Amino acid sequence: MANKVKFERDKVVYLASQLFWQKGFHATSTRDLQDAINMRPGSIYAAFGSKEGLYRESLKDYTLQMQSQIQGFLATSDTIVGGLRAFVESVVIAKKDCNPSAICMLVKANNEFATKDETLYELSLDLLAQFESDLIELFKQAQLNNELSNAVTAQEYAQFFQVQFTGLRGYFNRPNNIHLAPKMINQMFALLRKL
């Protein structure tokens, strides 16, 4: 019984994250949530405390899913840089139309809450910092593996990666330009290796 409840909770969090990712926190009404996750408002509040509680879990779940995707690509690649490149290609090209938004949910949250909700803004900052910390560890390992030079720090590689990745996702949110993605991803990783 406990496993079934957990599975259903995970499914609800995932469905809510898809809706929040598409519309944002403030544009998502309780009715929108009720329709998307098939729960009445009272049940949502009983399970998560509030709409904000469900959003917090959704944002954390999104972050875990992104980390899991990266780990999956790393597991099937010969190199760390190759795994990160496969992840970028998947998100920017292969799965672009499968996601509720081309823009990263963490970036959207960070922008949405910068002036509106200090608690959720802090959560977005914490999750972005954790993502960067995970990237730093990957780039340290890539340097140890001689995939990248030691001319810059692992943190600088991680910062460069985030800026480029976020920029690509935003740029390819525009219509009719996805044909440019392979060339721009090539440029991103060529520049990464030259840092």
* CB count in 10 Å sphere of residue 17: 23
**What's residue 127's pLDDT?**
93
Which letter does DSSP use for residue 185 in this model?
H
Tens of pLDDT, residue by residue over 81-124, are: 999 999 999 999 987 666 777 678 888 888 888 877 788 989 99
**What's residue 134's pLDDT?**
97
Domains of the chain: 2-194 (1.10.357.10)
Average pLDDT, the chain: 90
pLDDT classification of 176: cutoffs 50, 70, 90 = confident
**117: exposed, middle or buried (Cβ count in 10 Å: 0-12, 13-18, 19+):** middle
* pTM for this predicted structure: 0.86
Query: Helices in 90-117 by DSSP H: which ranges?
Result: 105-113
Q: Give ∠ CA 63-64-67 in degrees, rounded to 5.
A: 90
**What's residue 17's pLDDT?**
92
